[in-house]
Amino acid sequence: MASNPRKMNRRTALTETGRLAGAVCLGSFSLAALIQTTGRADARAMRPPGAQPEDDFLAACVRCGLCVQACPYGTLSLAEWGQEPPVGTPFFTPREVPCYMCRDVPCARACPTGALDSEIAIRDADMGVAVLVGHEDCLNYKGMNCSICVRVCPIRGDAITLEPGEVNGRAIMIPTVHSDHCTGCGTCEKHCVTGHASIRVLPRDLGLGGQGRNRAGRSA
């Protein structure tokens, strides 16, 4: 590496190479450790539609913000230092501005790296899944006919429906999310009338129970 030719026998050459490799290891593992401590996109910060799974996303996204600038609603922003997702990556907070599910998905089309699947059809997007988390505050659970989440849903009638139920002997209509249709756009979370949203978009692994580990009752 040095420009002046130095006298080097095999021993010093090996020592120097070892030292160099050690220094590179020191640097790379320090940086890797730092990366492990930074947040992943969490339940408060959703990725744009068409985003690859988080691990692949972080290897692909160069943090250029083309998706952010392509969004006509100002939904997306690049994470600043100290915000939940890794610095510079695009995210949105549904309670502030949800994804309006443009048919042409301009954000994903704008992505130059493949971090967002530019071929995605918006109905197939998986930004997360809406979950009714606030049973104690949800007005429908209190017997009122709020149903705002059902009425604002862009995939009305499919992603979220009202199912009859009963609480304390009273008939109520329960907003029920159907995860195979819900894209996690967050419109329901945005419009929920309770102080903090009673219905929230969560990443699928946080929001869904998944199949039981016990095979009982399932056909073989």
Binding footprint of another protein on the chain (CB under 8 A): 1-3, 20, 23-32, 34-36, 38, 55-56, 58-66, 68-70, 77-83, 86-88, 110-114, 118
CB of 82 to another protein, least distance (A): 4
CB of 36 to another protein, least distance (A): 7
CB of 211 to another protein, least distance (A): 28
CB 125 within 8 A of CB 92: no
CB of 192 to another protein, least distance (A): 27
Nearer to another protein, 52 or 161 (CB): 52
Nearer to another protein, 81 or 213 (CB): 81
Please tell me the distance from the alpha carbon of residue 30 to that of residue 147, in angstroms, as a whole number.
50
What does the DSSP assignment read for 114-151? SSB-TT--GGG--S-EEEE--TTT-TTTTT----HHHH
For 57, the 3-state DSSP assignment is helix
Nearer to another protein, 14 or 167 (CB): 14
Nearer to another protein, 25 or 167 (CB): 25
Which residue pairs from 164-172 have beta carbons closer than 8 angstroms and sit at least 24 positions apart in sequence?
A: 167/141, 167/143, 170/143, 172/140, 172/141, 172/142, 172/143
Please tell me the distance from the alpha carbon of residue 40 to that of residue 214, in angstroms, as a whole number.
31
How far CA 211 is from CA of 49, 97, 158, 215, 218, in Å, comes to 25, 32, 21, 9, 10
Structure-token pair, residue 61: 């996204």
Please tell me the distance from the alpha carbon of residue 45 to that of residue 148, in angstroms, as a whole number.
23
Nearer to another protein, 3 or 168 (CB): 3
Nearer to another protein, 20 or 167 (CB): 20
CB of 63 to another protein, least distance (A): 5
CB of 58 to another protein, least distance (A): 4
